[in-house]
Amino acid sequence: MFFPISGAHISPIYLVIVGFIIGILGGFFGVGGSFIAGPALRLVGVDWNFAVGTDLAHIVGKSAVAVRRHRALGNVDLKLGLVMALGTIAGAEAGAQLIQMLKRAGNVNLVVSIVSIVVYFGISVFMIWESQKTLRSRKGGSQRGLVKGAKSKMDYSAFSPVTRAIQRLQIWPMIALPASGIRAISLWIILLVAFVGGLFSGFLGGGAGYIRMPSMVYVLGVPTHLAVGTDLFEIIISASYGTFSHAIKGNVDILIALVMNTGAAVGAQIGAISTQYFTGPKIRLAFVPLPLIGAAIVIYTLFTGHKL
């Protein structure tokens, strides 16, 4: 099939399958899936600029499908998602500016690569430790480490004493997030978490859900199921902004995104429904390979000079 906007010839079946796989991952883990979509588009000859912009457009569609499903399951905190979207957009802009500054100073690739590898490995190691510790403590019948979550989505975390300490920080203004079961938390902490996610998004491209979803659980104390659904809702807003920005620069082939979305529509629903069959710690443990894939891509790029 010929896509006139990007001038690429790509099999629609290939695009549907890629969309389907990303849909399952996105629906289950609350990530955009750009670490797969970008390389998958590059693999069939789509130019780098089109791969980045088109991937963002596809993320909007896939997340919209997954959010509708998660919302029906009660997994979306709209208030938290809207606040986080503001921080993410600001962070993404700051990340893009930081990249420009590093470019002028030289060694941008090396600095960004090393920082991202350390962060990715750090997230994976921490999540393995935390989820395994939580699962072991639950087997022991302990109720300690309970994260204050929405009653229907009670979650457990070995990191919850730190999370509760963060929630107790009285930095005005404090807001309540009843959908997530959080009585009061500083608005600035939410914005900071979103800003850091956005910063990495601006640094590395994509949605950076592999940073934001764990941050929502461990820093804000949002139950895992709600973090997945809310992250996807937040991604719709920030990725729409990114799509618009890339489209006016001529980097979006919407036809490719529409074809990918036909596969993602099925995959995202399978992923979203599957979350109901797993507890929070198990979802977090299954999440561990995603940042590692991100790290592997950065290491590959660093050593070969080929941007996937």
Partner 1 sequence: MKKETARTLRAFAIELAIYALFVVAYFFLVLNLLGEWLDRLEISHRYTYAGLAILLIMGQAVLLESLTTFLIRLFRGRSE
Minimum Å gap between C-beta 256 and partner 1 is: 10
- Decide whether 4 or 141 has the Cβ nearer to partner 1: 4
Q: Which of 48, 121, 126, 244 binds partner 1 (CB under 8 A)?
A: 244
Q: Which of 240, 296, 307, 308 binds partner 1 (CB under 8 A)?
A: 240
Give how far Cα 39 sits from Cα of 62, 105, 168, 190, 230, Å.
17, 28, 42, 31, 26
- Decide whether 49 or 301 has the Cβ nearer to partner 1: 49
Task: Report how far residue 156's alpha carbon sits from residue 147's, in angstroms, rounded to the nearest whole number.
Answer: 5
Report residue 218 as tokens. 């461990």
Residues 256-275, interacting with partner 1 (CB under 8 A): 257-259, 261-262, 265-266, 269
Minimum Å gap between C-beta 58 and partner 1 is: 7
Minimum Å gap between C-beta 151 and partner 1 is: 27
Interface region with partner 1, contact rule CB under 8 A, candidates 136-144, 149-157, 162-170, 242-250:
242-250
- Decide whether 48 or 300 has the Cβ nearer to partner 1: 48
DSSP code per residue over 98-111: HHHHHHHHS-HHHH
Q: Which of 18, 25, 51, 64 binds partner 1 (CB under 8 A)?
A: 64
Q: Which of 45, 178, 250, 289 binds partner 1 (CB under 8 A)?
A: 250
Locate all alpha helices (DSSP H) within 30-139, ordered by sequence: 34-43, 48-72, 78-105, 108-139
**273-278: long-range contacts (C-beta < 8 A, 24 or more apart)?**
273/27, 273/69, 273/73, 274/24, 274/27, 274/28, 275/27, 275/28, 275/70, 275/73, 275/75, 275/225, 275/228, 276/73
- Decide whether 262 or 301 has the Cβ nearer to partner 1: 262
Locate all alpha helices (DSSP H) within 186-279, ordered by sequence: 187-204, 209-215, 224-248, 254-274
Give how far Cα 48 sits from Cα of 60, 92, 105, 153, 200, Å.
19, 19, 24, 40, 19
Task: Report how far residue 194's alpha carbon sits from residue 196's, in angstroms, rounded to the nearest whole number.
Answer: 6
Minimum Å gap between C-beta 243 and partner 1 is: 6
Q: Which of 243, 275, 284, 291 binds partner 1 (CB under 8 A)?
A: 243
- Decide whether 16 or 185 has the Cβ nearer to partner 1: 16
Contacts (Cβ under 8 Å, ≥6 apart) of 165? none
Residues 68-87, interacting with partner 1 (CB under 8 A): 68-69
Under the criterion CB under 8 A, does residue 208 sit at the interface with partner 1?
no
Q: Which of 128, 247, 299, 308 binds partner 1 (CB under 8 A)?
A: 247
Task: Report how far residue 283's alpha carbon sits from residue 33's, in angstroms, rounded to the nearest whole number.
Answer: 16
Q: How many residues can be counted in the chain?
A: 308
Task: Report how far residue 229's alpha carbon sits from residue 217's, in angstroms, rounded to the nearest whole number.
Answer: 12
What H or E segment, with its residue span, contains residue 20?
Answer: helix 12-29
Residues 16-55, interacting with partner 1 (CB under 8 A): 16
- Decide whether 177 or 272 has the Cβ nearer to partner 1: 272
Tell me which residues touch partner 1 (CB under 8 A).
1-5, 12, 16, 57-58, 60-62, 64-65, 68-69, 240, 243-244, 247-248, 250, 252, 254-255, 257-259, 261-262, 265-266, 269
